[in-house]
C-alpha cells in the first residue's frame, strides 16, 4: 500500500565542524549520567534472524525503546541529560560531578531556586521532559500541536506538567514555547531543534540520545557483529538522526556504516533539502498530516543537518502505509523472532527496509545501498504503542493507509 521516495545525497560537504557534538567522550558523559538514574538499564535489542533470512539480509537488529524508563519511548534520554547539564552549569559543576540523586536533592534545589522547563512536543519528548522535571521537583510547561491525541496529552499531564494542545503546527508551538520561556523568570527552553543562537541545549539533547546508539553498538558486538553495515534512522527535525549518525561516524571513522534517513512523506524537510542539493535547508509548512506524529516537523535542526549532509548516503520518505506495514511486521514477527511493539514513529525505518527488500520498484535503491545477504542492518524502534487505540486499529484491526 505505502510508497517510498528516495534521493541520493549529492550535497556539497562542509568542514564537518558539528561532528564533534557527538564525540565519544561527550556520549560517555551522557551514558554515565543515565546510569545514575533510577531504573536505568539498556533497552533490549531484537535480533530478527528469521526476518533477515526472509528479506535476504545477513542480520536485522531493532533497538526496542518501548522499554525506556517505563516511558515507552527513547526521548527521555535527551531531555533528562539536558536538564542535568543545565543545572550543573548553573551551580558551577561539571556534569560528571553530579549524579541524578544529587540533582534531585533538596539541598541542590534550594541552591538553584525554582526552574520552569518549557518545551513543544507531539508527545514523547514532552512526556520525557515532564517526567524528568517531576523527578527533579521542578515545573514543566508543555505545548502540543493541533491534532495531538488525548492519550499522549494525558500521559504528559500525569507527570505533573502544565500542558495544552494549541491550534498551531509543531514548529509554531516551538516558537510559542520559546517565547514563554524567555519571559518567565528562570524559564528554560528544552527543545531538540537548533536554530541560530539556540545550539547548546539541542546539542546536549543529541548527546543524550547517544546513550541509545552506544548501547546498540555494544549489543551488536555482544551478538558477534563487529559493526552495522547499514543504519536506518527516522527523522523529524533530525536531532535523533544527527545523534545516531554522528555517534556511529565517530565510533567507526575508518569504516562507517551506510546511513539512510527515513522521514514522513508529509514532513520531509531533510529529503527536500537533499533534492535541492545545494546544502541549504528546506522547510515544510502547513499541518503535516500523518500518523507519524513524532516525525511531523517541518524545520530542520541546523546542527544535525550539517552532520547529515556530510555522512548520510540516501534520504527517503515514507507514506503512512509504509509505517503501518512496519508496525504489523514487527508486531507479528516470523516464528522464532522476538516481537517488537513499535508505534507509528518507531516503525517507519523497518517499513522502508522491508519495502526496499521486497518491492521490485525499489530495486535501484536496493542496489545503490548494496543491501544483500552480507548486510548487518541496525534500526531504532523509538517508541512503543504510545497511542494505544491507534496501535490497535492498525495492528489488530488492519486499518489501511496509502
Q: Per DSSP, what are the bridge partners of residue 63?
A: 45, 380
- What cell was used for 270? 531533510
Closest CA to 229 of 372, 117, 70: 372
Known catalytic residues are 75, 122
Closest CA to 33 of 91, 79, 92: 79
- What cell was used for 334? 516470523
Angle between helix 76-90 and 24-34 (nearest 10): 90
Report yes or no: 382 and 358 within 8 Å, Cβ to Cβ: no
Closest CA to 235 of 142, 172, 300, 174: 300
Report yes or no: 109 and 136 within 8 Å, Cβ to Cβ: yes
d(CA 112, CA 95): 15
Closest CA to 230 of 56, 46, 377: 377
User: What are the start-end ranges of the H helices in 66-185?
Assistant: 76-90, 100-103, 106-112, 124-135, 150-157, 170-182
Element (H or E) spanning 203, and its range? helix 200-222
Report yes or no: 233 and 262 within 8 Å, Cβ to Cβ: yes
Element (H or E) spanning 118, and its range? strand 116-120
**Pairing of the two strands 116-120 and 139-144:** parallel
- Which distant-in-sequence residues (6+ apart) come within 8 Å of 394 by Cβ? 291, 324, 327, 328, 344
- What cell was used for 205? 539533547
Amino acid at each position: 500500500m505505502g510508497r517510498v521516495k528516495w534521493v541520493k545525497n549529492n550535497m556539497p560537504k562542509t568542514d564537518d565542524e558539528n561532528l564533534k557534538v557527538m564525540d565519544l567522550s561527550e556520549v560517555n558523559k551522557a551514558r554515565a549520567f543515565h546510569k545514575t538514574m533510577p531504573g536505568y538499564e539498556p533497552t533490549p535489542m531484537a535480533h530478527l534472524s528469521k526476518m533477515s533470512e526472509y528479506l535476504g539480509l545477513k542480520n536485522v537488529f531493532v533497538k526496542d525503546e518501548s522499554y525506556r524508563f517505563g516511558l515507552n519511548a527513547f526521548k527521555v534520554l535527551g531531555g533528562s541529560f539536558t536538564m542535568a547539564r543545565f543545572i550543573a552549569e548553573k551551580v558551577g559543576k561539571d556534569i560528571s560531578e553530579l549524579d541524578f540523586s544529587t540533582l534531585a536533592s533538596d539541598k541542590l534545589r534550594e541552591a538553584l531556586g525554582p526552574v520552569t522547563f518549557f518545551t513543544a512536543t507531539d508527545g514523547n519528548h514532552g512526556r520525557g521532559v515532564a517526567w524528568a522535571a517531576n523527578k527533579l521537583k521542578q515545573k514543566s510547561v508543555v505545548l502540543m500541536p493541533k491534532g495531538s491525541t488525548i492519550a499522549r496529552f494525558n500521559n504528559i499531564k500525569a507527570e505533573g506538567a502544565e500542558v495544552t494542545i494549541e491550534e498551531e503546527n509543531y514548529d509554531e508551538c516551538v516558537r510559542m514555547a520559546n517565547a514563554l520561556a524567555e519571559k518567565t523568570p528562570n524559564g528554560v527552553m528544552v527543545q531538540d531543534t537548533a536554530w541560530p543562537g539556540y545550539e547548546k541545549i539541542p546539542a546536549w539533547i543529541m548527546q543524550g540520545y547517544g546513550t541509545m546508539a552506544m548501547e546498540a553498538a555494544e549489543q551488536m558486538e555482544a551478538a558477534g557483529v563487529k559493526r552495522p553495515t547499514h543504519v536506518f534512522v527516522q527523522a523529524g527535525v533530525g536531532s535523533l538522526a544527527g545523534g545516531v549518525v554522528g555517534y556511529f561516524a565517530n565510533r567507526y571513522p575508518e569504516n562507517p556504516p551506510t546511513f539512510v534517513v527515513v522521514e514522513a512523506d508529509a514532513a520531509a524537510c531533510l529529503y527536500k533539502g537533499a533534492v535541492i542539493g545545494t546544502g541549504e535547508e528546506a522547510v515544510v509548512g502547513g499541518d503535516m498530516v500523518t500518523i507519524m506524529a513524532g516525525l511531523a516537523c517541518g524545520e530542520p535542526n541546523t546542527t544535525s543537518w550539517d552532520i547529515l549532509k556530510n555522512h548520510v548516503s540516501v534520504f527517503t520518505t515514507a507514506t503512512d502505509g509504509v509505517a503501518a506495514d512496519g508496525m504489523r511486521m514487527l508486531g507479528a514477527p516470523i516464528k522464532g523472532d522476538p516481537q517488537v511493539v513499535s508505534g507509528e514513529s518507531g516503525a517507519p525505518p523497518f517499513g522502508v527496509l522491508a519495502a526496499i527488500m521486497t518491492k521490485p520498484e525499489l530495486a535501484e535503491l536496493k542496489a545503490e545501498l548494496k543491501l544483500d545477504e552480507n548486510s548487518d542492518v541496525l534500526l531504532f524502534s523509538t517508541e512503543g504503542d504510545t497511542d494505544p487505540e491507534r496501535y490497535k486499529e492498525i495492528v489488530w484491526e488492519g486499518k489501511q493507509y496509502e
